[in-house]
Structure 1
């Protein structure tokens, strides 16, 4: 079997890509269309619902609602991604203004103030989520409040962020040594609802540990860090397979913490590798290593990353092989996308690319060769995503009205990207695929911001 990172370039070629490829081949990470799409959706939702009781989630490619964001209640796990996308733009405007085109007829201060107002409007309703104890996804939900604290020094946002971490910690069970991810799992094939007999954890949970680590350091509550690290060890033990692929779900015995069942809820089958789950593992274990410096987590991040890259290299897709299939083990032509190609998940690629950039950063001093290989892989995923998934028929741009207010004309596709898959399990209560997804766009924007922070553009 070839190396899991075979086909990647040498450090010399990586250096060349840093100086030229990122600036040119990945320019669409930073173009006007990317920012204007986010702005347009932000304004349209506020005009329709000033109280923002619902948040964007997904876009269907066909049918009467095609091209327009369909929304979920503000309590849904994805509600934090759109406000975080706005804050990604604010970070660019503040720290890397060359990476955020603005209307030339509008002063920078006016552009900034309008963007800041949008950020605040979209993040304000999320404070109410901080005391929830019925969700493990508070890290995703509260991300924009952390960004508000970091960019604006808003103490109320930090307070809510720390409160959310404390709320999440209430879901920890010392007997199981884990945080309960879901209270129930229901599909057309099963109904797991009894919490006395079932303790469900999912691979996605690894990316919510960042909330606990961050809040621990800002509140001097070391218990939060301890819970996060312990949960990560349990995920590693119960969800990562011996070949470094991942299950989606582990159902643990609430009394002993032993695995009762491994299964999928969104992937192809219980024994397949759902690509977004594998991506969550790469990002989550790398984040956990960055906080703990426990090499157990660094090894887990590398092993799950190498598996992901190996499966990309084996892709049966005819083009843009680094946009991952929605599940690495699904029959490739059982479901096809609007390009007539095997069904993909753009969001999985964007999440994985973010994790690979962090791995690159973590290994720069200790293993520069491997660090360069992970960087090259992240850039390759980004390049193929731009080539395959950026919507080309609707290009958004900024204008300014007579009152010096930024405007973006209506379009035909609300998101930056296409070809994500939220849940394509055959037994799912709601099966939706080949979509625009709010978190695909967020991780696309965050990837650009990581490159800016690392000085690679």
Structure 2
């Protein structure tokens, strides 16, 4: 009863939340990054528009340096359109809005995917940004995507199942109901659907998943497991493992970033201080870790065997920086903006940011997809760019 009452109170507070005000670019590190992003993405779009009759969605580079394009059903499909929305927000140039609408609406079919737990990423980064930044009426798509995601909610466990246990390489792991820490990021689309419809069922499911993840995904030091497998019939935890990290008991860097961002976002919608506290605890784990390099760009796993001779993961750093700018809005005057600023300063150097005309027209270098799978090692990734641009927007908003 107490939990139900708290959920109801949280939902009512959440429904009263306001919109982000429009702000202007400030002087400093921002103009140079915006100029670089405009140059790179202008070249990226020109390459697509001049060589294809269909909308292409760049994700990364292959081992030969060729741009890899993905279909609408790829989990990363929302990031490139989302980055274009970010550029529109940062520049207020209507040409970017026109392109953002085109590349976003090419993903229309995503809203109906029920086998994909990442519809939150795919629709949130594209259509939700179109609503927030561009004033587009994508409400039906947001709600339908939330309905599709809701089919993956497992009542007994109180969580959203991430991967289908009978698909591809996942089938070999013996899982029944695997949940990955990444899934915290998909909750935003549910919170938004609750706001748009007034239907608290989406809110309740999102809170349930956040609470179960908080309960079962974290160790005593607030590092996160990558995968927790549940029994969908009893709701009990069957195992705690990894898929993309170094080992089951290691701290996969991007997973820690997803967790930090996810619980900061959950506080935005619920005002529940346990989520704010969790974000702070995750921050403390990351930034007191003995294996974090002094430039704050983490190795792909904090416990990888050959540190310091391990690849860095710029995507984890970009996600973390964006999360910290938001965290600073709830705890102003703390260390969070200062840390984010240091990360952004590092990412803006030639060591990590690509020169114009290079890197397949992506912004950032040196990210990692999945070393255990031998995929996307030391390459640009579209989601590293997305969260870097989002971090720039949030930095601007804090400094206006």
> What interval of TM-score do these two structures reach, taking the shorter chain for normalisation?
0.7 to 0.9
Asked whether the 8 Å contact 1:185–1:192 carries over to 2, the reply is: no
Match of residue 236, structure 1, among 204, 209, 214? 214
The Cα of 1:91 is off from its aligned counterpart by 1.1
Tell me how far apart the structure 1 counterparts of residues 78 and 151 of structure 2 sit (CA, whole Å).
Answer: 21
| Structure 2 counterpart of 1:362 | 330
User: Which residue among 243, 256, 262 is the counterpart of 2:240?
Assistant: 262
Aligned residue pairs total 374
Q: Is the 8 A contact 2:292 2:298 kept in 1?
A: no
Q: Distance in 2 between matches of 1:133 and 1:187?
A: 17
Deviations 1:167-196 (A, max 9, x none): 1111111111001111138787971367xx
Q: Which piece of structure 1 moves more, 117-126 or 73-82?
A: 117-126
Partner Cα separation in structure 1 for residue 156 and residue 238 of structure 2: 15
Question: How do 1:138-287 residues align onto structure 2 when only pairs under 5 Å count?
Answer: 138-142=119-123, 143-155=125-137, 157-184=138-165, 191-192=172-173, 198-287=176-265
Q: Where does the alignment leave 5 or more consecutive residues of structure 1 unmatched?
A: 1-21, 95-111, 337-341, 397-410
Distance 1:113 1:420, change over 3 A: same
Change in 2 beyond 3 A, CA 1:330/1:51: same
Higher-Rg member (1/2): 1
Of 421, 443, 447, which residue of structure 1 is paired with 2:387?
443
- Distance in 1 of aligned mates of 2:94 and 2:370: 38
Q: Which has the higher contact order (CA 8 A, sep 6+)?
A: 1
SS at match of 2:327: helix
Structure 1 stretches of at least 4 aligned residues deviating more than 4 Å after TM superposition: 185-190
For residue 16 of structure 2, what is the aligned residue in structure 1?
none
Q: Does 1:395 align with 2:356?
A: yes
Aligned residue in 2 for 1:55: 57
Match of 1:383 among 342, 345, 348: 345
- What runs of 5+ residues in structure 2 fail to find an aligned partner? 1-25
Over 3 Å counting, the alpha-carbon distance change for 1:238 and 1:187 in structure 2 is farther
Paired with 2:182 and 2:201, the residues of 1 have a C-alpha distance of: 21
Are 2:112 and 2:145, in contact at CA under 8 Å, matched by a contact in 1? yes
**How big is the shift at 1:254?**
1.0
Change in CA separation of 1:224 and 1:326 when aligned onto 2, cut-off 3 Å: same
Instruction: Decide which of 375, 390, 398 is 1:431's aligned counterpart.
Output: 375
Partner of 1:315: 291
CA 1:25–1:180: 2 relative to 1, 3 Å:
same
**Aligned: 1:332 with 2:312:** no
C-alpha contact 1:59 1:415 (8 A) present in aligned 2: no
SS of alignment partner, residue 238 of structure 2: strand
What TM-score, normalized by structure 2, do the two folds share?
0.88
Q: Distance in 1 between the 2:307 and 2:377 partners? A: 14
Q: CA deviation at 1:386?
A: 2.0
| C-alpha deviation, 1:29, in angstroms | 2.9
Change (3 A) 1:412 1:251: closer
Given the alignment of the two structures, is residue 347 of structure 1 paired with residue 303 of structure 2, yes or no?
A: no
What residue is the counterpart of 1:301 in the other structure?
A: 279
C-alpha contact 1:213 1:228 (8 A) present in aligned 2? yes
| Structure with greater helix share of residues | 2
What is the deviation of 1:356?
Answer: 1.1
